[in-house]
């Protein structure tokens, strides 16, 4: 391989590694007290997941395209500390709608009376898109692409009928611009933090964002 080709390959690999690193804020260890569960989906598939906390208010956490449930281990723990039950699951790349439906169905079948959807990147677009169908009480969007799953069109239809927190890092383009569009459609303002972290990757520079998220859904969902 020529030096030029080798240089191009190294640069491409570095860019890909940076993309992967920016998409997740994964914690290697599950939160204290979490339970490994399996969520049944259509066609007999089973989704690996963790569940932590207790109660009838449940947060369902959907990762991004290159992410895993581990991206939300830290946030799941903060939800549990705040009196919520949290479910973080590994989604299949080609069946995300079915998988989110299955995760919400599991939450309700196991006692949830209030469900909030929390997503990072592609999982955030999915959460916005399916919020009305799944009768979510609130949504948290972290760096959602506005075009994926027709999230912007869904936001325009929802308006202010479902409380939503739209968060993004100011240097994470084009998602920062997308967040402003989504927030405008929802009749709210985007929560913009410094840096360029994407999705759950924002937690690395802004761990306090986890507390902001739980405080938001606490205000949006009555105690149950």
Neighbouring-strand partners of residue 219: none
The answer to whether the beta carbons of residues 61 and 24 sit under 8 Å apart is no
Tracing tokens 């998220």 back to the chain, one arrives at: 213
Q: Which two tokens stand for residue 115?
A: 């469900």
- Share above pLDDT 90 across residues of the chain, in percent, rounded to a whole number: 84
pLDDT in tens, 116-144: 999 999 999 999 999 999 999 999 999 99
**Number of other CB atoms surrounding residue 153 within 10 Å:** 14
Which 3 state secondary structure label does DSSP give 52?
strand
Q: CB of 132 within 8 A of CB of 76? A: no
Strand partners, 126: none
Label each residue of 150-169 as H, E or C: HHHHHHHHHCCCCCEEEEEE
Q: Name the residue with higher pLDDT: 10 or 218.
A: 218
Cis omega before residue 174 (within 30°)?
A: yes
| pLDDT tens column, 4-26 | 443 434 333 333 333 443 455 56
Residue 27: predicted pLDDT: 61
**Confidence band, pLDDT 50/70/90 cuts, at residue 2:** very low
Domain 3-220, architecture per CATH? 3-Layer(aba) Sandwich (3.40)
**Domain coordinates of the chain in residue numbers?**
3-220
Residue listed under structure tokens 């105690």: 223
């Amino acid at each position: 391989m020529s030096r030029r080709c080798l240089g191009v390959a190294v640069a491409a690999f570095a860019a890909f590694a940076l993309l992967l690193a920016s998409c997740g804020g994964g914690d290697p260890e599950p939160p204290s007290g979490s339970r490994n569960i399996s969520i049944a989906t259509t066609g007999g598939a089973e989704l690996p997941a963790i569940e932590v906390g207790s109660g009838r208010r449940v947060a369902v956490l959907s990762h991004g395209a290159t992410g895993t449930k581990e991206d939300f281990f830290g946030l799941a723990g903060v939800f549990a500390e705040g009196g919520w039950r949290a479910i973080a699951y590994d989604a299949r790349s080609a069946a995300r709608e079915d998988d989110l439906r299955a995760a919400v169905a599991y939450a309700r079948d196991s006692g949830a009376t209030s469900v909030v959807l929390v997503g990072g990147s592609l999982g955030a677009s999915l959460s916005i898109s399916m919020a009305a169908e799944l009768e979510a009480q609130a949504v948290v969007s972290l760096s959602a692409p506005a075009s994926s799953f027709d999230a912007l069109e869904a936001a325009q239809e929802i308006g202010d009928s479902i409380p939503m927190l739209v968060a993004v890092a100011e240097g994470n383009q084009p998602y920062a611009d997308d967040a402003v569009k989504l927030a405008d459609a929802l009749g709210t303002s985007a929560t913009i933090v410094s840096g360029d972290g994407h999705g759950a990757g924002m937690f690395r520079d802004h761990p306090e964002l986890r507390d902001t998220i739980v405080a938001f859904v606490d205000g949006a969902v009555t105690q149950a």
